[in-house]
A and B are shown apart, each in its own frame.
Chain A
C-alpha cells in the first residue's frame, strides 16, 4: 500500500478502514538463503537492501522481541557525516547520502531533518583538531564550516558565552547534519523489506547457531530450527552472547549509554548542538521534547538503565552550555546497550566460520549508520565481497593494528 497525502485524505473520508498492516506476521519457513539475527535498525536495513539491491528475497529477520526495539528505538536521533579517519569518512558519507531521499525511497516519512550540527570548541587545541576534521570532511566531499565565536553566536545566541567555565571559541558547523525520527527508520525499512518478501519474525529468539564442518547451516530458535546458507549477526549490545553460540569471542564490551527527553516545548533549539568540554549533545524533536545525552556510564552492563552520576553530569553540562534550558523538565530517561570496540569503530565482516557474518561494534554512533550499515552488510552477504565504503571495518584490524580510533583513546573499550 502506497502512502501519500491523497491516501490519507481518501482513508479519512471513508473512516480509515482501508489501512493495511505495515508488515506481515509470517511463520518462519524451514530454510532461508539468508538469516539476519536481530530486527533492529541495522538488521532491518540489511534485509531491505538484500532484497532491493541484490534481489535476495528468501530472507528472514529473526527478532527476539519486537522490531526496532533496540538502540534504533532508543537514541538521540542524530544523523551526521563528520568523521575524519579513513574508513569512517567514506562510510558515513555514503550513509548520509542514503539518508537523503530515504523517506521517498521507503515511502515512509522518516523525518530526516538536516537542520545542521554544530560541534563547539573551547580552546586552540580543540579548534585545531576540529579544523583537521572539517578539512577531512570536505576532502570526502561532505560539508563543513569553521565558525568563530561570533559565527556561533549568530546561530546559537542562547549559549552561555560570557559566564562559562569553558568559553566558546567557535564551532565546526556541519549543515547537512541533523536528526531523524528513530522509530520511523526501523518501521520504514521493515515495511520495505516485508513488501519485498522478507520474513520478519518477531518473538523469535535465536538460541543456537548450527555449524557443521566449519560452515554455518542454520540457527536454533524459540520457534524451532531454521536452516540457512548464510547468517548475519546484527545484535549490537548482544553480539557477545550470540557470537558465543558460535564459539567466538568478539572485541566487544557492552556498556550503558543514557539519554533523556524533556516535556514538549515550543521550538527553542533549531540545530543539533554538541558541547566540546562536557560530552553533551542536544536537539529538539519535532514534537517539542529536548532530546539529549552524554557519555557512557562507563561500566560494562546489560541493564538498559543508567545511574545518577552520569545523568547528573549530563544535566550539569547542559546548564553550563545553555542555562536557558533549566526550566525544561526531564520527562524520561533511558539506557541502551552499546557494543563498544577497542577503537570505537564498527565491524562488518565475515568470521572464521564460513557463511557466518557479523555486523556490530557501532558503539554509540549506530543510528546514523543504519542505512550505510545495512547497505554494506547486504553487499557483503550477497556478493561475498566487502563494500568499498565499509572495507576497513574488519574483525582482524585490532590484531593487525589497522585501527580507526577517532577519539585517540586506545584499546580500552569504554573510552570511545
Chain B
C-alpha cells in the first residue's frame, strides 16, 4: 500500500510488470519487492524443506525468503532476491518451489510431516532396500530440493571482466563510506567507491534523519555530486564487493544491465571486477537480525528496519496495522515513523523490562511474541508481557533483534570476528585483511554522527599510511543517539521458531543437533544446514550460534562462528567465467598455411592451442583413410609438404651455449659440428624423458633447438630454470622463435628435386647430407634448411621468416604438383612416424625413461646432464620396466588399437597378468596391415614372441607378434640417400 507523500519513487512514471502471470504496476525507482508490497502481494515464495509460505523479509541482499525467477527462455534467472531486483517495464517474475501454484503447493504436505523431517533426518533413513536410494529416494529428494531452476540453455547475454586499481577502495556508500570517499577524494587520491545499491546513501535512504540540516538522502546526493566531479574518484553503484583476496585484491560484481528492460546489446549484463587497492575502508554497514519465536516465518513478519526502508524510500506501508517486536531502541523508530505516516500501529512488544513508553502506541514491556496465525500471511500475534497475555490483530510484524555489523569481507582471510558485548554482536577484527580498516556500522557504531566521523577518520588514517596528510576534516552534524539492546535470541516455548527461513532450520533443530553432540558451530551448521541457503544466514547465523551456545552451556564467543568465505553475495558463473564461452576459452593459434589448408577442405584439428590439418581430401576419396593412405604413399614414393611451424623453436647463443646445451640435453651436443643437426632428448630432473627434438648448430656459439609442439613453453621455462637457477655463470642467452619462423617439411624421394626448383643455389648430397643444416636463399629471402626427417624419407625442413610462410607454402605446393606431390596432414604424418618407430607424446607420456624408449645409450656417460642422476634409480631401469616395442598382427587383417593392454597367450585379461599397452596404432599402407607401438615388460628381449592385445572397450582382441619398433627401412637408407 502506497502512502501519499512518502518515498522517493517517481510516481509520474508507471512501470508495468507481472508476478506469477498477474499484471501489476509500480513506479520508477521501485524494486520488485517494493512494487509487490505496494500492490498488496504478501506471499511470494515457498521455503526449501517444508514449503512454508514466504513473504518479503528485508529490503536488501540479505533477503532469505523472497527469491523469485526473473525472465524467460535463455534469459531466465532463478533465485533473484526481490528486494535487489530493480523494477523495469515488462519485468516478469515468478515464484519458486511451489507446484502446481504458489497458493496451492502440493509439497506443503511436508509441513505436516515436520516431526519426522527434523535436522539430519535423511542420515537416518532411506537406506533400505539398498537399491532404492538411487532409484527412488534420491530422485525424489532432488526433485523436491532446489528453489529455482535454470533454463537448461546457454544465456545469450554478454558478460565481462575487468581490472581496476586505486589508492583507496571504499566498500559501501552509506554515511561512513561517503565520508571516507569524500575525504580521500578531496585529498586527490585515486578512489573507488563501490555500493551495492543503485543509489548511494545506505541507511540514510531508509530513515528520516538529517545530515548537516538537510534530509539524509539530499545530503548523500550532494556528496555524490561532488565526488562525481572529482576526476580521481570512480563511483561504482550496483557493485557489490564480494571477496577479499591477497595483496589488496578484491572481487566485485557490477550489475550493469540487470535493471533494464532492454539491456544494450553491446553492454554486458554483469561485469566481474578485480580491484587492486592500496588501502580499503570497509563501510559495509550492518544487517538487522530477527528474533526466533513460534511461527515467526509468516509473510508479513519482517525486519523492522526494512519496514522503515519501504516507508521512507519507496512510500510503501508494509501493513495496514503494524506491530513491532524488538529488543532494542531501533524497533521503536519503526513504530514512530509509521504513526507519523498515518499507519496504524497496534503495539510495540519490547523484550526489555524497562522499555521506553510511548504516547502514540501501546508498549508491551518485558514482552514476547509467543505465537502467530495466518496461513498465507500474518493475521494475528499472541503476546505475553509484563501485564499478561494479549492477542493482537496485525498484518505486519516488524522485528528487530539488533544489528549485526557486516564483517564478512574483513573475515575472508580466515580471521574470526570479535564479540562486542555492547551491541551483542560480532565486529570486524582489526588488521585481519592487510590494508583494510572497518568504519562505521561495520565496526559496531550505529549512530549516524558516529558513522560520519568514523568514515572520515578511516580515510584519514588510510591516507596517512600512504603518506598523504589530511589536516582538518569537517564532519557534518547528524543524529547521535545511543544504541541500547538487551539480547534476545529466541522466545522459549512450544511451537517451531525459525532461524533460517529458507532452509527451514528451527531453534529445535539446533537444540537437537547439540543434543546429539553436533556441538561445534561447524557441526551444527552442517547437520542442520543453518546458513547454507542462498542468503548464507546473513540475518540468522548469529542467533543460531546463540541458541547453540545456550544449548551447550557456553558463551557465544566460546561457541565461535563458522568460516566466512567469498563471495559475500552470490556471483553468477557467467560473470566470473566471462570470456570462457566457445572459442574464448583459450587462444587460437594458426599456422602460416592455415588459410590454404582450409581452402583445400582439410579438416582442421586442435593440436594444443594450434590448428593443424588432419588430411587433404581429393575428389573421389570417401573416408579419411583414403586420403591418409594416399598421402603416405605420396611421401614414400614422391614428395609431400607439411607445415611444421607449430614445433617449438628456441634460438640459443653465447660463448657457453655448447656447455649449456650439454647440460640440458641427455646426449652430447659439444661434439656436434657447425652445419649439422642432432636428434636430442631432454630429461626432467627426475630422470624421465621430458621432450625430444633436434638441435642444429648454426655457428660456433649459435644453436637452434626444436621442441615438440606441446612442450615449446615448458622447455623454454625449463631452460631458463637451468640457466638462471642452476648455472647462472654460463654466458648464454636464448629466446623462443616459434612464431618468427614458418617451417615446412618437404619429404619424399623427390624432395631435393623440388627444393632445387626453388632455391637460389641448388644443393646436392655432398653439401647437404643427412642431418646437415645451413642458410639458403630463395627468391631473395634468407631461409634455413635442415636435412631432417620425421617420415623416414629423404627429407628437409625449410624455414623462412613467418611473413613469407603462406607464400612459401603455396609455392611449395605448386612445385610439388609436377612431381606428383602435394600436402599431407597429421594423419599421414602419424602413420609415417609409426612406420619408422618415431616418438610422439603418446610414447613420451611423462612416465617413460630413455631406457624404456631404447634410447639409453643417448644418455652420455661422459658428462652431467639434467635427470641423469635420478634416472639411475633401480625402479627406472631393468626388465620389469615396460619397454618400447613394435607389434604386428599375426593374421594380416588383425586390428590393433591404442589403449589396448597386452597379455601372454592363454593368460586371462586381468590386471595381474597385464604385460603392457599399445600407445599408437595405425594401418600401414606401406606394409599393408596394421602396426602398433607399444610398451611391453622386458619388451626388447621379447621380439618375435606372440602376445594378445585386448581392448575391452572396443571389443577387439588380436594375437600379435612383438617386433622392433622400426617397421620400415630399419637401416635408414632412404633418409640418408
Contacts and interface: CB of A to CB of B under 8 A. Distances in A.
A343 to B, nearest CB: 9
Interface string B515-536: 1111110110011010011101
Interface stretch (A3-11, A224-232, A350-358, A363-371): A3-11
A22 B846 contact: no
A138 B133 contact: no
Interface centre among A20, A103, A139, A318 (most CB of B within 10 A): A139
A24 to B, nearest CB: 8
Contacts of B953: 131, 134-135, 138, 144-146
A287 B146 contact: yes
A317 interface: yes
B573 A328 contact: yes
A27 B118 CA distance: 30
Most central of A23, A73, A303, A332 by chain B CB within 10 Å: A332
A329 B512 CA distance: 31
Contacts of A129: 845, 899
Contacts of B246: 307
Contacts of A15: 115
Interface stretch (B330-338, B583-591, B853-861): B583-591
Nearest to B686: A411
Interface string B22-48: 000000000000000000000000001
Interface string A1-44: 00111011100110110011111110000000000000000000
Nearest to B96: A266
Contacts of B130: 101, 103-104
A8 B125 contact: yes
A327 B151 CA distance: 9
B517 A410 contact: no
A410 B686 contact: yes
B701 interface: no
A15 B118 CA distance: 10
Contacts of A208: none
Nearest to B566: A333
B580 A318 contact: yes
Interface string B545-587: 0000000000000000001011100111110111111111110
Interface stretch (B76-84, B295-303, B759-767): B76-84
A132 interface: yes
B846 A324 contact: no
B150 A3 contact: no
A267 B149 CA distance: 8
B517 A13 contact: no
B154 A324 contact: yes
B145 A286 contact: yes
Interface string B659-692: 0000000000000000000000000111110100
A377 B397 CA distance: 58
Contact of A286 (B141, B515, B584): B141
Nearest to A145: B953
B98 to A, nearest CB: 12
B909 A326 contact: no
B195 interface: no
A264 B145 contact: yes
A247 interface: no
B482 interface: no
A400 B875 contact: yes
A140 B952 CA distance: 12
Contact of B580 (A305, A308, A316, A334): A316
Given A128-B899, A304-B414, A109 B911 contact: no
Interface stretch (B223-231, B436-444, B774-782, B913-921): B913-921
Instruction: Classify chain A: how many residues form its interface, as a range.
Output: 35 or more
B626 interface: no
A409 B847 CA distance: 8
Contacts of B133: 103, 109, 111-113
B911 A89 contact: yes
A202 interface: yes
A210 to B, nearest CB: 28
B216 to A, nearest CB: 32
B49 to A, nearest CB: 10
Nearest to B826: A124
Contacts of A130: 899
B25 to A, nearest CB: 27
Contact of B585 (A145, A166, A265): A166
B147 A264 contact: yes
Interface string A44-62: 0000000000000000000
Given A13-B115, A165-B586, A329-B572, A113 B952 contact: no
A288 interface: yes
Given A8-B116, A267-B143, A268-B152, A331 B899 contact: no
Interface string B124-157: 1111101001100010011101111111111100
Interface stretch (A156-164, A235-243, A378-386): A156-164
B843 to A, nearest CB: 11
B898 interface: yes
B910 A265 contact: no
A329 B253 CA distance: 12
A308 B249 contact: yes
A393 interface: no
B876 A107 contact: no
Nearest to A399: B873
A320 B581 contact: yes
A16 B512 contact: yes
Contacts of B153: 158, 324
A58 B281 CA distance: 54
Nearest to A408: B846
Interface in B767-819: none
Contacts of B846: 405, 407-410
Contacts of B585: 164-166, 277-278, 316-317, 319-320
A123 interface: yes
**Most central of B127, B161, B578 by chain A CB within 10 Å:** B127
A114 B138 CA distance: 11
Given A131-B898, A316-B580, A319-B580, A166 B126 contact: no
A311 interface: yes
B523 A66 contact: yes
A264 to B, nearest CB: 4
A39 B118 CA distance: 27
Given A131-B951, A165-B584, A19 B901 contact: no
B240 to A, nearest CB: 12
Interface string B819-860: 000000000000000000000011001110000000000000
20 contacts: A8-B121, A69-B522, A109-B122, A115-B134, A123-B606, A127-B898, A129-B899, A132-B899, A134-B952, A165-B586, A188-B123, A263-B570, A265-B150, A311-B576, A316-B577, A316-B585, A332-B536, A342-B686, A400-B873, A407-B846
Cβ-closest 8 pairs across A and B: A131-B899, A408-B846, A288-B146, A316-B580, A401-B875, A401-B873, A315-B577, A326-B574
Given A7-B124, A264-B148, 20 more contacts: A21-B516, A73-B522, A128-B898, A135-B951, A136-B911, A165-B583, A165-B584, A264-B145, A266-B143, A312-B272, A315-B573, A316-B579, A317-B577, A319-B573, A323-B582, A327-B574, A330-B576, A333-B243, A400-B873, A400-B874
Interface of A: 3-5, 7-9, 12-13, 15-16, 19-25, 65-67, 69, 73, 86, 89-90, 101, 103-104, 107-109, 111-115, 122-125, 127-136, 138-141, 144-146, 158, 160, 163-167, 181, 183-184, 187-188, 202, 262-268, 277-278, 284, 286-288, 303-305, 307-308, 311-312, 314-320, 323-334, 342, 397, 399-403, 405, 407-411
Interface of B: 48, 76-79, 115-116, 118, 121-128, 130, 133-134, 138, 141-143, 145-155, 159, 161, 243, 245-246, 249, 251, 272, 274, 412-414, 508, 512, 515-520, 522-523, 526-527, 529, 532-534, 536, 563, 565-567, 570-574, 576-586, 588, 605-607, 684-688, 690, 841-842, 845-847, 870, 873-876, 897-901, 909-911, 914, 917-920, 950-954
